[in-house]
Amino acid sequence: MERRLNSLFPSLMLEDHAEEVGLVERNRKLQMPPLVWSLVFGFATGESRSLADFRRSYNSTADDTLCPSGFYQQLTPELAEYLSDLVEAALDEVTVPDTTSREIDRFRDIISADGTVLRLHELLADDFEGRKEEQTGARLHLLHNITEQTIDDYSVTDEKTHDSTQFDTGPWLEDRLVLFGRAYLSYRRFALIDENGGYFVTPLKDNAKPVITEELREWRGDAIPLEGEQIHDVTEDLYRQYIDVEVEVEFERRAYAGEQSEDSKRFRVVGVRDEGADDRDYELYITNVPREEFLPDELATIYSCRWETELLFRELKTQYELDEFDTIKKHVVEILLYAAILSLLVSQELLALLTEHASAEIVFPPERWAATLRSHAQLLLYRLGDYLGYSPPPLLDRLVKEAQKIHQERQTLQEELVTAMQPTAEA
């Protein structure tokens, strides 16, 4: 296990890159491998995390301890940049064995695009503008590869930046299926995905008005004809189990040479009755996946894989305390954010190791694994530090340093009592 973690972030690489970005010199007291691993596993311990807890994790791993001021001085914009580089490196390294159904091997990858909001201190409003005037927030955007159970890409913006602006189309989409939320609905984006050989599935918004051009399934009996109708105008009159139609949508192409042209394209809309709601309600999805490959209920099942991305955000917020930023410094927010993402990536790497080691029939639910990692994080940090050859000061010495009074000018309750009692005793 220690060897696997060290291969993900070799100590020499951590030290050399710290020098490259001007973060630390080799003769400085700070040791980069213990710092990185303390930030990684520090997010996975305790009921709530603080900078003091990270410092204690570092002091229990490194050869020499750092006092509070010495540790806080290391939390710089350069450290934030350094951790960002480590995240980018890990994105290319971490892979988890494919556990998706063989039925959807037809796609090269299934990707989920999504984002989540992180609440911040109001004094950070200039750097992280919220959607509402009285709020401050950052938005974490992820491209989650559901097939490989990894993060393909990410970005951090203020809350006002829409998720859809962080999704780039291009040749990388070929033969990949992207699952979007309603916020990403854009016919021009869908056209570009289709033209790049990719596929998409997205819930249809209630105010979307694509016109039905053809029914892709024939119904026996006195079925209601749908051609020429807008999809939302007819759903309340239907009793069929599924809807499967071709629709035409209109959109504007991106402006070229100062001119913007209109265009249209035909896609597929499928509807599956929502059994948990009114029996006339359909869950409608717009897609370019052909009917010959997947029926409506199969597409709905594939789209439900997007729930794994929601579990990913839940893991970041509940297990790694991503939604708790007790700081007014932008670069400290970034340090804590990148540390949380690194924790997640290391978690996925260890999960891959478990999957390789365990019997094929054993299943590891993501939330159960995250909780298990969190409860064993300090032990992992201790074993990794020992594997890397670090010898922290004796525990008793560290306890003395941690527990002693820092501010000598401030009296403890016992000292105040003794001071108050002295005149009485002298009298």
Q: What is the tens place of the pLDDT at every residue in 19-40? A: 888 887 644 678 999 999 999 9
Residue 211 phi/psi, 5-degree rounding, is -95, 130
Q: Is the pLDDT at 98 greater than 70, yes or no?
A: no
pLDDT confidence of residue 220: 62
pLDDT digits (tens, 9 = 90+) for 103-137: 567 899 999 999 999 888 888 888 898 888 778 88
Lowest model confidence (mean pLDDT) among 12-21, 78-87, 256-265, 291-300: 256-265
Q: For residues 334-338, give the mean pLDDT.
A: 91
Which H/E stretch holds residue 269?
strand 262-273
How far is 233 from 49, CA to CA, in rounded Å? Answer: 52
As beta bridge partners, residue 117 has 139
- Give percent of the chain above pLDDT 70: 86
86 pLDDT tier (thresholds 50, 70, 90)? very high
pLDDT confidence of residue 388: 93
pLDDT digits (tens, 9 = 90+) for 358-410: 888 888 888 888 889 888 988 999 999 999 999 888 888 878 877 776 656 66
pLDDT confidence of residue 93: 78
pTM: 0.81
Q: Is the pLDDT at 321 greater than 80, yes or no?
A: no
Query: Residue 80 CB: number of other CB atoms within 10 A?
Result: 21
Exposed / middle / buried, residue 357 (Cβ in 10 Å: 0-12, 13-18, 19+): exposed
pLDDT confidence of residue 237: 77
Q: In what order do the strands lie in the sheet with 199-203?
A: 150-158, 137-145, 109-119, 176-179, 199-203, 282-287, 262-273, 242-252, 211-215
Measure CA of the first residue to CA of the last residue in the chain; give whole Å. 68
For residues 266 and 219, which has the higher predicted lDDT (pLDDT)? 266
Tokens 């509402």 belong to 132
Q: Is the pLDDT at 329 greater than 60, yes or no?
A: yes
3-state secondary structure of 119: strand
pLDDT confidence of residue 314: 87
